[in-house]
Amino acid sequence: MSNKIEFEEAERLIGVLPTLAPRPTATSIRNLEKALFDALEGIPSQQSAEYGYKGMAQQAAEYALSTNEPWQDFPNPGNHRAADGMMNAVEQRDADAVFNAQMVVYTSQENVKRAAIAALNKAVPKQYKRTAGIGMANYKTTQSIRDIMAGLRDIYGVPTPDEKTRNEQMFAKGWIQGEPIEELFHRLEDCFIQAIMMKPAFTEEQLIDKAKSAVQRTGLYSTAMLEWNAFEPAQHDWQTFKLHFAEAYDNKIRTGAGTTTDGNYHGMYSAEEQGDDDDDSLASIIQSVNHMQLANNTQAQATADSISALTAETRTLHAALVATQQQLAMFTRGTATGQGWPQIQQTQPTIPAYIQPVTQGIPAPAQQAYGGGRGRGRRGPRKGRGGGGRGGATQGVIGSPPPFIGIPPPAGGAGTGNNGYRSNKTKYFNNWNYCYSCGWDIPIWHTSQTCPANYRKNGHQEGCTRENHDQYVAAGHRPSGAAKHKTGLPVNPQENQA
């Protein structure tokens, strides 16, 4: 992020928030929060181009529903760069560039915060701007936005019985016909956060169970459900659930299967869930039973298809095993007769000249718990997921490894786009920098050596670069793999994507 966000620009982007007049309620406070979060999400931040500054205002539990990367306020670099008489002219210039870039990021963050506080001062009547017993004239920029919102929740956000009942009903409602799966996720997440305010809070396990039940009742995603059940327990988190079933939903749309089957069970189920026209008549009961039978038939057919596919695969593997056994038998007979096995020329793989193994000089990892793990693995050969890059510095800073002249960019092209749930292989930042703690998609001024102290995880290695990453792994270290799957530069990068 190279362009500074001025206060006026941030004020325009945040706009006018919903008022809490005449008196704050749990519903009006939640509407205010969502409007503020949506506005901040649209302003790219030093930590996340996808979620912007939303993490500055959201409570940690709510922000974790969007990303496994906790929000970190960018530290104040100070009024001026610390002097170092040991630097030469080039080193002084590079250090100044790093300091100036850090100051741009910090100033942008503070301007966005000022604009958000100003918008809250207009939305919240003065008599309700109290946090403990007495009122205050206005919110101050020295206050945390998260603390302000938490104070409003605690004092004025006590829900009515009707509000709690509506939230529970929305949490239990199924997947509505024609509704994108992302809308289902959004509704469940909103109910999850409302329950934190209203008490008792739902658990993440309950959140996943409700979403899983809604998907199961459609009868359309049996294969995806079997795959989900086969995941390791550590992968059964909300982020992985959303990614997995959003991919299954998209595949069904792309193949032309839509989101309904014969009998239109999806739509029938959702109508029943809404309960607008329910009655206890015999015809209604019979219709409900028929709907359930259709769903069971669809589920059974999908299960049968899966079993048939597994059976065919087993037969193929058995045939391959028999062929291998026959080859081994031929080899054994050839050895006994002295003919042996045909000689195969062994060749060493060619290593490109620019890859230099540098295991010597790499320190052994510290014998302590490492932090900073981001993302979770997925099924098969896929990699884990990580968050966006944070902070950083330009290449060429004193002590950084020498540049590797002539190294071609990593293989891969432009990604396929990111709708919030699918993988995106296109980098946000237009450079090949790498940071041991922050990963593979970071600003131009960010490296392992210039990573801010509060971003560094335990065992941070300043000498780790994109080129020697694998040597550090081989030496026993655990460098970040965040955004490693992003192997293509942006096609039309903007100035803030340097």
Going from N- to C-terminal start, the domains of the chain cover 7-73+89-156, 161-283, 365-498
> Whose CA is closest to 442, among 201, 61, 105?
105
Q: Give the model's pLDDT for residue 103.
A: 93
**Residues 6+ away with beta carbon under 8 Å from 94:** 394, 396, 397, 398
The answer to whether the CB of 438 falls within 8 A of the CB of 448 is no
At 396, list the tokens. 């060429």
Distance, in Å, from the CA atom of 38 to the CA atom of 35, rounded to the nearest integer, reads 5
At 296, list the tokens. 């069971």
Residue segments in the chain with a per-residue pLDDT below the cut of 70: 1-2, 131-136, 257-302, 330-423
Helices (H), 124-230: 145-156, 161-172, 181-198, 204-216, 222-230
At 394, list the tokens. 């330009």
Distance, in Å, from the CA atom of 66 to the CA atom of 61, rounded to the nearest integer, reads 10
Distance, in Å, from the CA atom of 431 to the CA atom of 490, rounded to the nearest integer, reads 9
69: left (phi over 0), alpha (psi -120 to 50) or beta: beta
Angle between helices 265-274 and 282-336 (to 10 degrees): 130
Q: Give the model's pLDDT for residue 193.
A: 82
Q: Which residues are paired to 423 by β-bridges?
A: none
Angle between helices 204-216 and 181-198 (to 10 degrees): 150
The answer to whether the CB of 191 falls within 8 A of the CB of 171 is yes
Three-class SS of residue 435? strand
Distance, in Å, from the CA atom of 149 to the CA atom of 130, rounded to the nearest integer, reads 11
Q: Give the model's pLDDT for residue 61.
A: 84
Helices (H), 255-281: 265-274
Q: Give the model's pLDDT for residue 290.
A: 56
The answer to whether the CB of 291 falls within 8 A of the CB of 270 is no
Rounded (5°) CA angle 438-440-442: 70
The answer to whether the CB of 221 falls within 8 A of the CB of 182 is no
> Scanning the structure block, which residue is given the tokens 């014969």?
262
Q: Give the model's pLDDT for residue 215.
A: 93
Q: Give the model's pLDDT for residue 136.
A: 62
Q: Give the model's pLDDT for residue 55.
A: 93
